Amino acid sequence: MVEETNKTNGKEETNGKEETNGKEETNGKEEKEESPPLFLTGENEETIKNKKIIGSEEIGIYLENAKNKTIKYNTANSNSEEGISLDYSSYNTLTDNTANSNSWDGISLDYSSNNFLTNNTTNSNSRDGISLDYSSNNFLTNNTANSNSQDGISLDYSSNNFLTNNIANSNKEYGIFLYSSSNNILINNISCFNEKAGLSIYGSNNNYLINPISIGNGESDIKTHASSNTTHASSINTTIIDPIIGSWNLELQENTKIIITPDYYNNFENASNRITKSYNKTQEYISSEIARREEEIANLNSKGIKSTKKQKEYFEILKRPIETQKKQIEAQRKYAETQYNTIKGKINIDNLNYTQILPNKEKIKYSIYNDEEGIGESLITYINTIRDDTTKVDVKEKNNIGNDTTNVDNRGIFEKVDELTKELYKLYPDPESSTQEELTIYIPKSFEGRHITLVENARSM
């Protein structure tokens, strides 16, 4: 059931259709005139698209106890709570939505599982871009969460989620933050130029960070740290595979393993393009947001020219929060620009190569493993297949990805990755815990000679 309530005229629509003043929709992505907030519930298959909910005094689009809904091509900006919120809702698809500049999160999931979020934009929200609380078995693919006042993407008490190809840059706190969240798989995500850490794992166990691209973050690029909660005393058994990290300013808990696979060398060209593209996209967005605030201020100034003293005072009051937002956004742009230029001074972002990202020799120890059976290659092949399939799969079919058994959830994917990785662990001659003081990286014997040459060349520079 779809309920739309227009609070300004007392009318109520419950048929799921929006009045279009006689105009017909001519393009699947064309936005109609501004809509009242939307509330959806029930299990009927329904599609909500091309709605524009801006400046609502509540949540823009709200799903509660909802299943089988498709939310696409909508704009939910500048609302007093979340842009889009799911509570106790499952098997829904959110794609190509924009949820920017909301007073709470851009998109939030609470107690919601088996949802599919793809190609959504959640920038400049007062809390997180995308927030998952007590929500498991969700797919997040190709989403952008930049310049938010807290985290780009946050998982709290949320497990068995699958995050791939997301961008979380220039956020006030963390790019991607996991709190008490276990058995999650993160593949090929970018988290750069955040003021704290790019990727932060707090009191969470058995997570996989595969090909993370994390450069130019303030405190550290990847951080796994202990919890003050004794139930979750530390983040253990974090596995980091083929990382591309700018300065290796890592903070790691016990049992954190860093694995290099034979596929590692193929990642750099892709990483270079994605870092530069994501940085430019972030800065373009911030510039447009500054311009929009300047236009709002100019509009209020023009209204005040021939106004009474009392009206001018009122317009000045209206301008204050806009001017504050403009200053905050300008500060975000400056921070990202400073971080980007600092990193460019150290490494060639536009042409990354292996020697540029090697850790300092004082903090590095290498362990060579012999992978004659190609377990590492099988792992990466499987991961790439899953990553590519999730961009196309329908939410009702996604449970079968990468698994011959029907009616399974994301745990099937996690178990397969976990199984292959544990097979790799068995090959290690001296599996030791990595620490900030002495970092151990596991290198496949298949390119030992090439690797050692690169290491020695880098150390002599």
Over the stretch 378-413, which tens digit does the pLDDT of each residue have? 777 777 776 655 544 433 443 433 333 333 345 567
Residue 324 has a pLDDT of 83
Secondary structure class of 164 (helix, strand, coil): strand
- Is residue 84 one of the residues assigned to a domain? yes
Could you give the C-alpha distances from 40 to 65, 87, 97, 241, 447, in angstroms and in order?
Answer: 8, 11, 16, 40, 55
Residue 453 has a pLDDT of 54
Residue 291: give the domain boundaries: 270-351
Burial class (CB in 10 A: 0-12, 13-18, 19+), 380: buried
Residue 386 has a pLDDT of 66
Cα 357 to the chain's mean position, in Å? 23
- Is residue 341 one of the residues assigned to a domain? yes
- Is residue 3 one of the residues assigned to a domain? yes
Could you tell me which of 155, 193, 157 has the C-alpha nearest to residue 175? 193
Residue 459 has a pLDDT of 43
Could you tell me which of 30, 39, 116 has the C-alpha nearest to residue 75? 30
Given 305, 321, 351, which residue is the final one in a domain? 351
- Is residue 207 one of the residues assigned to a domain? no
Secondary structure class of 95 (helix, strand, coil): strand
Residue 397 has a pLDDT of 40
Q: How many domains does the chain have?
A: 2
- Is residue 86 one of the residues assigned to a domain? yes
Backbone angles phi, psi at 66, to 5 degrees: -110, 145
What pTM value is reported for the model?
0.80
Residue 32 has a pLDDT of 56
Q: Which residues of the chain, if any, have pLDDT below 50?
A: 3-27, 31, 228-233, 391-409, 431, 456-461
Given 70, 85, 104, which residue is the final one in a domain? 104
Residue 431 has a pLDDT of 46
- Is residue 221 one of the residues assigned to a domain? no
Given 83, 104, 125, which residue is the final one in a domain? 104
- Is residue 432 one of the residues assigned to a domain? no
CB 225 within 8 A of CB 343: no
Instruction: Give the whole-angstrom CA distance, residue 407 versus residue 231.
Output: 32
Burial class (CB in 10 A: 0-12, 13-18, 19+), 290: middle
